[in-house]
Amino acid sequence: MRGLDAAGRLGIALVVAAVAAVAGWTLFVELPTSGAELVGVLLVLAAAVGALRVGGAIGRSVFPTYNAAEVAVEGPITRDAGGGGPLPSPGSPGADDVVDLIETADDDDDAEALVLKLNTPGGAVVPSDDIRLAAKAFDGPTVAYATDVCASGGYWIASGCDELWAREGSVVGSIGVRGSRVTAAELLEKAGLEYEQLAAGEYKEAGVPFSELEEDEREYLQGIIDDYYDQFVETVAEGRDTDAESLRETEAKVFLGETAAEMGLVDHIGTREDVEARLEELLETEAELEELEPSAGVTERLRGGAERVAYAFGAGIAARFTDPGGEFRFRF
């Protein structure tokens, strides 16, 4: 089937190019009676090249090059590209980009199925949910495939897919929520500085890094984390058709793929080839995957190379800090 489609696309492209070449020769070479023949030949060649591209596009529309779209979710999940933080990881598309790619695949009649390749430790709450909702809304079979890590927000995303596959050595789980902040109160005191900010509302300043948490503030913030956790468990239980209590019993631990499968956290263990074989069962035809990526110009690509060098040098240090504002952060 793959060979026939390729031959069909090539045939259409060649036919369109041949028709354009004949038309160009007639218009630019045969009809002129002056010394414009040389220019005519050049125009014929240009017309043939342009027509070949048009023919290729027509051929791809008649004989699609793929029937399943693949979208990767890699690195920490944030709203914007790069993973956020003071030193964002290069090359990681943000949640909005991932959602756009999924919606593009959903609008493409050729993309009959969606594969989400997951390699993420989790991240921000709402961006993770945006990706889950986009996957859930896809009109067709959706398969999540965990490579190295599918934890926390990554598992939240997977719950929006029909199936979750993992490798035996994949790290899966971490069904929990955490909140964090940097406390700099003692540092300010040693430096002889005093933090003062005017605010309205009793808990407006709860979680700022320049003062110690009062017990009622701690309870308030813990309540938000508990609410997020309940939402996490209930959403995953509904999406994966499992018992919420069994998810709570995992105690936010991570498990290797094989153990996760035995616990029902993963549907199947297998390689990428096994995932493609499963797609062929779902589509009842040979699977042709096309990986979709956010568009990037030359400038962005060159900048990405420099960012990778800087990231490799400083990521280990920067990973220990929160955002520059130091605000209390909720993350899967």
| Known active-site residue 117 | no
Contact status, residue 283 vs residue 66, Cβ threshold 8 Å:
no
> 152, 159, 170, 174: which is the annotated catalytic residue?
152
The alpha helices in 150-266, defined as continuous H runs, are 153-158, 185-190, 215-239, 244-248, 257-262
Pair of tokens at residue 253: 């631990």
Task: Using DSSP bridges, classify how beta strands 268-269 and 163-166 pair: parallel, antiparallel or unpaired.
Answer: parallel
Residue with tokens 């929006």, as numbered in its chain: 160
Q: 154 in helix, strand or coil? A: helix
The DSSP 8-state label assigned to residue 77 in this structure reads B
Q: Which of 61, 204, 246, 253 is catalytic?
A: 204
Dihedral Cα 278, 279, 280, 281, nearest 10 deg: 50
Measured distance CA(231)–CA(40) in Å, rounded? 69
Q: Classify each residue of 124-135 as buried b or exposed e, where b means 16 or more C-beta atoms within 10 Å of its C-beta.
A: bbebbbbbbebb
Annotated active-site residue 211? The verdict is no
Dist CA 132 CA 77 (whole Å): 12
Q: Which residues are catalytic?
A: 152, 204
